[in-house]
Structure 1
Amino acid sequence: MEKFSFQLFSSRNYPPLEDVFKLLAANGYAYAEGFGGVYGDADEAAGKALKAQLDANGLAMPTGHFSIDALEQNPDKVIAFAKAVGMEIIICPYLMPDQRPNSVEGWTDFGRRLQKAGQPYRAAGFGYAWHNHDFEFAALEDGSVVLDRIFEGAPDLDWEADIAWIVRGKADPFAWIEKYKNKVVTVHVKDIAPPGEATDEGGWADVGHGVVPWAKLMPFLRETTSAKYYIAEHDNPNDLKRMVSRSIASFKTY
């Protein structure tokens, strides 16, 4: 069976990290996905320290998010950190709004930028992927879609498919997964609250407690892709213990 993980961005408002790791372990998680906020200096020493914390709780961190700037500017440092932690897949998660192109060629160029940035990581033996939000599903002037242009410019780039963001982008997750099934290496598993609900949580919901059709999506994802890690996420939970426990309980039913 694929492996269920937890994106630590979900717990950024619930320090300390040691307590988050204990909570994950107590609820049956074996993995956590990192992001910049938990990396410290993000060097080899910080990686070893983070791995020690993970080991103490029976956890591993096979996947991690790194900004495009970090990936481009400090590849040796990122590689040393990721190896010390024990990561397998390095993921670029976002592009700030003021940095986003507004043309077909601009997005294709951004894909080329990602392709180039990934070379040292692939050479070092890591998987290398892009994590989507909703802006990748906007139509461009020629009728094409941003995500198509990114992958056009980055043929070697894999994909961490965030299903809920695909839905928020008013796109069909089944169609997009089918289109790029050979690129999907990890999946973000999160949910969207019914309209007008959970406004204090950004309109997100615990996995299985929203409107995303996970009972249909999980069999489809298993049959269509070779995704290895499925990663629970909630961008702004007001009760971390609830989110952690309910998300893994729902996942086990799919």
Structure 2
Amino acid sequence: MTYPVAYQLYSSRNFPPLEAQLPELRAMGYDAIEPWLPAYEADPAAFRRALDEAGLKCFGFHMPLDGLARAPDRFVEVAQTLGAQVLIPPFVPEEERQDSAGYWAGIGETLARGAEAAGRHGLTVAWHNHDFEYRALPDGTRPIDHILGADPAVKFEIDCGWIVRGGADPAAELARYADQIVAIQLKDTAGPEGRDTEDGWRATGDGVIDWAALAPLMEKTQATHIVAEHDNPADWRAFASRSLHHMRQIGLAGS
């Protein structure tokens, strides 16, 4: 099964100007951009025009969890301007995290309220994971299960690289949350012995994750697209082209 492929623009934050990259990404074969705040913040309409001129779409975008809680209408308007379907809060700052099931269930409830607000406009809210959601709490439960267990309306952009970094198995998580997964980040990571360059991240296919083995499980999810991301590439073009090439090699992306 092939998917439309988005490029997470956070990967290129150290290589401005970002808008100059858009035509190159389209020429490589990317279908969409997944932006993060602040890439679209100053002028969402201007960012949309740049996407349109490059021939790229926006399936979803990263946004602050606090923005979903306190200003959902603002980010619904951003989604409508960008033509995006999915609003994606991606993070809880370390200083705010608590080691209790109740705290993480509260995060899920915040997402559920945001999903209700977005749903009135035909939009979806999805959580994006890092590694900390997979570290067991004192009672033995995991934050991710409290976050995604609050309400089935809360969807999931699963980041496989961070799952590996968190000590969990992407295959198990793809199966466990198949009905909630709406996007899949094919982020790859080196093993522990190779993390002295690029913060240990790798282009898709250059790390330790067996993407071909995961592909059948991806097909059983509700994912509408896949996403390339690298948190600190030395060369964004090399990362972008190599990742898309591997996705094509294993039949996840069209030519």
1:187 to 184, 189, 196: 184
Quick check: 1:213 aligned with 2:210? yes
Quick check: 1:152 aligned with 2:149? yes
Alpha-carbon contact 1:198-1:205 (below 8 Å) kept: no
Written as runs of structure 1 = structure 2, the 5 A alignment for 1:24-103 is 24-41=25-42, 46-103=43-100
Alpha-carbon contact 1:185-1:228 (below 8 Å) kept: yes
Alpha-carbon contact 1:12-1:37 (below 8 Å) kept: no
Quick check: 1:161 aligned with 2:162? no
Decide whether aligned partners of structure 1 residues 117 and 23 sit closer, same or farther in structure 2, where only a CA change above 3 A counts: same
Relative to the length of structure 1, the TM-score reads: 0.94
Alpha-carbon contact 2:152-2:180 (below 8 Å) kept: no
Quick check: 1:196 aligned with 2:193? yes
Supply the distance in 2 between the matched residues of 1:248 and 1:107 (Cα, whole angstroms): 34
Supply the distance in 2 between the matched residues of 1:47 and 1:82 (Cα, whole angstroms): 9
Which residue identity is paired with 1:235?
A: D
Alpha-carbon contact 1:159-1:184 (below 8 Å) kept: yes
Alpha-carbon contact 1:160-1:185 (below 8 Å) kept: yes
Supply the distance in 2 between the matched residues of 1:109 and 1:194 (Cα, whole angstroms): 33
Which residue identity is paired with 1:226?
A: Q
Written as runs of structure 1 = structure 2, the 5 A alignment for 1:101-250 is 101-197=98-194, 199-222=196-219, 224-250=220-246
Q: 1:195 Cα shift?
A: 3.2
Alpha-carbon contact 2:130-2:163 (below 8 Å) kept: yes
Which residue identity is paired with 1:59?
A: L
**Superposed CA offset, 1:129-154 (max 9, x none):** 00000111111222211111112223
Give the corresponding residue for 2:253.
Answer: none
230-239 or 190-199, which moves further after superposition?
A: 190-199
Supply the distance in 2 between the matched residues of 1:141 and 1:155 (Cα, whole angstroms): 25
Give the corresponding residue for 1:14.
Answer: 15
Over the matched positions of the two proteins, sequence identity in percent amounts to: 36
**Superposed CA offset, 1:147-170 (max 9, x none):** 111122233200000011111110
Supply the distance in 2 between the matched residues of 1:117 and 1:191 (Cα, whole angstroms): 30
Task: Identify unmatched segments of 5+ residues in structure 2.
Answer: 251-255
Provide the aligned C-alpha RMSD in A.
1.3
Which residue identity is paired with 2:194?
A: E
Alpha-carbon contact 2:3-2:224 (below 8 Å) kept: yes
Supply the distance in 2 between the matched residues of 1:17 and 1:180 (Cα, whole angstroms): 33
Secondary structure of the structure 1 residue equivalent to 2:127: strand
Aligned residue pairs total 249
